[in-house]
Structure 1
Amino acid sequence: MADRFSTHHLELGDSVVIKRYASWNRGEPHREWTALTLLAEHAPGLAPTPVEAALDGDPPVITMSRLPGHVLRGTHATDEQIGALAAALNRLHRIPAAVVRTLQPAPWGPAVAVDKVRTWADKQPDLGDDPLVRRAYQAGVSWLSSTAPDELTVNPFPPVIGLADGNHANYLWDDHERRIRLVDWEDSGRNDRAFELGEVTEHISRLDGSLDAEELLAHLDLAPQEARRVHDFRRLIALMWFLQLGPDGPATPHNPAGTLERQARSVLRLFG
């Protein structure tokens, strides 16, 4: 089944999932199959196992193993779950860079994100008259006009394979094995690790439940310079969502009342 926001239809069997794509203009089926195949070799058990595919069908179809568990989105992540998520991300990001470089760049990454956020800010979206919201907007616009965002587009660290989507619905907690697995690889590709961590910690889905970002980052093996880049990417991603939460913004219909104000507080905390 799929809703009007989905990019695919899923059929859930006892041991497999059949995924039929509703759109594939960004090469989503090929990206997902490539990622699942690579992960089965270099990090088995971290993601669904690929079974078979008709990548050039109409629609394209992938069959993969069905994983047990429930998504982190909509839950209050425990210390154990946060530690398990960190372990999963560390394992993913330790796949050798030589392997990662064989992948296409992810369609959602630093340069695209910086350009998108600046474009949204330039539109001067209607965010209402709340003083808290206005302070967050000014803090974000001031930062965007500096050179800091441009510096994020040059990565001094080895690339990683990433989901390029921080939605907490992509992280599956297995109660039996006490571990996290990752699903939905249709936008995956070669990416910047700091950007990927910014996505995980600041995706708007974090407001649907809770996941302690500082605790998660404390579990990760980050060099000081990389930690600073993560912080700036958190600013960028938080600001991106904030700018889309005005009365007529594209993110508003999917989020409950009060989300703009909550996001404004997040922006001010990151820029404080």
Structure 2
Amino acid sequence: MADLQHTHEVVFDGDVVTKRYVDGKQGGAEREWRALTLLAEHAPGLAPEPIAFEAGVVSMTRIDGVSLRGLSVGDAQVAAMAEALDVLYAAVPPAVLETVPIRPWQRAAVRDWVRRRGAEWRSRDPLADRAVEEGLRWLESWTPGESGVTPVFGGGDGNLANFLWDGARVRRVDFEDSGRSDRVWELAEMAEHVSMWVEGEVDIVGRFELSPPEERLMRDYRKLHGMTWLFLLSHESPRNPPGTFRRQVERVLATLAA
């Protein structure tokens, strides 16, 4: 979805980064600015600091570090990533969080998108067709509940590339899809993002203690996000290794069986 589209241009000028939204993505710049402003106040150091905002353009400080995507991610990086997420999720006080708009691509929106893509599916091969059929059958029987939902400030877009490692800690960039969310939804979206497994499985969920209701939510959310990526990857991209779609089909079938 959003992470597969060209949504902005980034210009580096010394210690200043300017992000210009180029596709008219509704509210992206505003969400980015809101996130940077909130985190500068409630979790300083976790993300770039806001400098200036005008229509469609956000300027921020440049932070040190290299993207985790493409690195050999080990225990130290995963532990630091989990620590950064803990800080992010707890950063915004509840009274302030209630005033933050819900982030894009929440449960109902993703469910409806998957349904539409499923209705448009054209037979491809027996295993992929089976994954789509079983996924849509599960989706029709799924009713998202509120049991286990823990409101948090969510960064959105679980791409591993949005996490920077400086050798000691991990910090977060790219907040165009941020907003009020729930903790398990954010973790499930991240766990199923192609960047988290295509070059070696990164187990971020295992770093968090989940209650039984949260564990049930996690299973359901991962099924839904898995279906999302099944459709997104149905046309192989040169950015991913050959066979990525086939691996996603197998992941979806395994997740649906869990």
TM-score (norm 1): 0.85
Q: Does 1:142 align with 2:137?
A: yes
| Runs (4+) off by over 6 Å | none
Opposite residue 227 of structure 1, the aligned amino acid is: E
**What is the aligned length?**
253
- Are the structure 2 counterparts of residues 82 and 125 from structure 1 closer, same or farther at C-alpha, using a change threshold of 3 Å? farther
Identity %: 42
**Whole-angstrom distance in 1 between the partners of 2:173 and 2:228:** 24
Q: Does 1:40 align with 2:30?
A: no
Secondary structure at the aligned position of 1:94 is classed as helix
**Whole-angstrom distance in 1 between the partners of 2:24 and 2:37:** 19
**Whole-angstrom distance in 2 between the partners of 1:100 and 1:237:** 24
Opposite residue 258 of structure 1, the aligned amino acid is: G
**Whole-angstrom distance in 1 between the partners of 2:135 and 2:35:** 34
- Are the structure 2 counterparts of residues 81 and 23 from structure 1 closer, same or farther at C-alpha, using a change threshold of 3 Å? same
Q: Does 1:231 align with 2:219?
A: yes
Q: 1:138 Cα deviation (Å)?
A: 3.2
Q: Does 1:110 align with 2:107?
A: yes
CA contact (8 A) 1:245 1:259 kept: yes
CA contact (8 A) 2:6 2:23 kept: no
* 2:66 aligned residue: 70
Structure 2, unpaired ranges of 5+: none
Structure 1, unpaired ranges of 5+: none
- Are the structure 2 counterparts of residues 207 and 125 from structure 1 closer, same or farther at C-alpha, using a change threshold of 3 Å? farther
RMSD of the TM alignment (CA)? 2.1
* More moved, 65-74 vs 133-142: 133-142
Deviation readout 1:34-68 (Å, 9 max, x if unpaired): 110000111111111111222x2xxx322111111
**Whole-angstrom distance in 1 between the partners of 2:44 and 2:71:** 26
**Whole-angstrom distance in 1 between the partners of 2:162 and 2:122:** 29
**Whole-angstrom distance in 2 between the partners of 1:6 and 1:271:** 31
TM-score (norm 2): 0.89
* More moved, 5-14 vs 192-201: 5-14
- Are the structure 2 counterparts of residues 125 and 77 from structure 1 closer, same or farther at C-alpha, using a change threshold of 3 Å? farther
Equivalent of residue 116 in structure 2, options 109, 119, 126: 119
* 2:250 aligned residue: 265
Q: Does 1:240 align with 2:225?
A: no
CA contact (8 A) 2:82 2:207 kept: yes
Secondary structure at the aligned position of 1:10 is classed as strand
Opposite residue 161 of structure 2, the aligned amino acid is: A
Equivalent of residue 87 in structure 2, options 83, 88, 91: 91
Secondary structure at the aligned position of 2:132 is classed as helix
**Whole-angstrom distance in 1 between the partners of 2:40 and 2:58:** 15
Secondary structure at the aligned position of 2:44 is classed as coil
Equivalent of residue 182 in structure 1, options 132, 153, 172: 172
Equivalent of residue 183 in structure 2, options 181, 189, 193: 193
Q: 1:271 Cα deviation (Å)?
A: 1.8
**Whole-angstrom distance in 1 between the partners of 2:226 and 2:5:** 21
**Whole-angstrom distance in 2 between the partners of 1:208 and 1:196:** 19
Q: Does 1:159 align with 2:190?
A: no
